[in-house]
Homo-oligomer: A and B are copies of this chain.
Amino acid sequence: MDLKELGEFGLIERIKEALGGPLPDGVQGIGDDCAVLPQAGGMETLVSTDMLLEGTHFLRGDIPARLLGWKSAAVNFSDIAAMGGRPAGSFLSLGLPKGLDSDWMDAFLAGYKECSDFCGAPLLGGDTTTSQDGIAINVTVIGQCERGRSRKRSDAIPGDLICVTGPLGDSAAGLKLIIERNALSERHALSERHARLDRASQMAGQAGHDAEALVQRHYRPVPRIREGLALAATPGVHAMMDISDGVASDLRHILKASDVGATVRTQDVPLSAELRQVCAQQGWDAVTLALTGGEDYELLFTMAPGTEPSVPYYVIGRITEQKTLVWEGSSQDFMGFRHF
């Protein structure tokens, strides 16, 4: 059978079947943002890993190396944030094609360091090797938290409010803008080889500024470390994860792991002013982008009504006993991003 037929989650299930088995006491393996390993002194170690491949996750000409460096670190540290942990360090494997200029790598490393510094976690190791094809990047992050404090996907309870830490959809809209720019510049490539048409930067004043903000949100997601730590320190906060594939996909993980359902009020999904503006100009549906677009890296969490976390949040729905997912205010059944 071709792997494509399995899909990403089918593939993960297959790996779990092949390699699963009983784990030592207190160890949590596949199935959450991080694995959890108990330490001797009342703490827990958190670990997560992500692979980014040229051609699949990024195009070398499209994303500046410095931003790719930031993003490679950020999407991983976001997994530590999603558990409510404090980052301790990272490990970077780089497969680099022969002939790659060292300037590219220097810029990549500078961006990687910026994000590592932001998260307070030094690079502790890695691997470098030659790639026969494109650039291959793998990042593993390690963090820790007090035992029993890490937040799992499986902790949602009927009656919980469903919340997010910030506006959604900006990253997905930023990606659409980047793709449009590239298509535009390709169409003009023959007649004006050196003129890189850039619809967003040609927009007058505020419009160009809005578009650029969305592009930056795609290139430079901010791991919500501080927010994750604050939420994990708040007793009423139950399930938590980061939004990498879009709420529509990610919320389903919480529902499945917690064996519950949910009602999402689509009109309550927070949208940035920039997203509203650009969607109005382009004729895009902001709510669809916010629910199905990935890579926002905001935190998605559930909490008992009346809980007051010390960080800003937006309530977008409620966990239900009935195991269905209802999108109130919309006739659509939103699906998130699928990898395979």
Minimal beta-carbon separation of A104 from chain B (angstroms) = 9
A125 CB–B CB distance under 8 Å: yes
A258 CB–B CB distance under 8 Å: no
Minimal beta-carbon separation of A196 from chain B (angstroms) = 24
A213 CB–B CB distance under 8 Å: no
Residue in chain B with minimal CB distance to A120: B24
B132 touching A56 by the CB < 8 A rule? yes
A138 CB–B CB distance under 8 Å: yes
Contact A133 B134, CB 8 Å, known A102-B2, A140-B91? yes
What mask results when residues 26 to 61 of chain A are scored 1 for a CB within 8 Å of chain B, else 0? 011110001101011111010111111111110000
A185 CB–B CB distance under 8 Å: no
For A11, A40, A94, A140, the residue with the greatest tally of chain B CB atoms inside 10 Å of its CB is A140
Q: Please, which residues of chain B bring their CB within 8 A of the CB of A166?
A: none
Contact A102 B47, CB 8 Å, known A15-B123, A123-B29, A136-B95? no
Contact A127 B51, CB 8 Å, known A21-B122, A45-B142, A122-B21? yes
Identical copies in the complex = 2
Q: Please, which residues of chain B bring their CB within 8 A of the CB of A29?
A: 89, 122-125
B39 touching A2 by the CB < 8 A rule? no
Residue in chain B with minimal CB distance to A40: B41
A200 CB–B CB distance under 8 Å: no
Which chain A residues in 273-324 approach chain B with CB under 8 Å? none
Binds B, one of A108-116, A151-159, A223-231: A108-116
A216 CB–B CB distance under 8 Å: no
B45 touching A123 by the CB < 8 A rule? no
Q: Please, which residues of chain B bring their CB within 8 A of the CB of A98?
A: 2-4
Q: Please, which residues of chain B bring their CB within 8 A of the CB of A64?
A: none
Q: Please, which residues of chain B bring their CB within 8 A of the CB of A18?
A: 106, 109-110, 113
A130 CB–B CB distance under 8 Å: yes
B133 touching A132 by the CB < 8 A rule? yes
Minimal beta-carbon separation of A12 from chain B (angstroms) = 6
Q: Please, which residues of chain B bring their CB within 8 A of the CB of A203?
A: none
A136 touching B51 by the CB < 8 A rule? yes
What mask results when residues 213 to 238 of chain A are scored 1 for a CB within 8 Å of chain B, else 0? 00000000000000000000000000
8 further A-B pairs in the complex, CB-CB below 8 A; given A47-B125, A47-B142: A1-B101, A3-B100, A37-B142, A39-B43, A39-B45, A49-B93, A51-B138, A57-B129
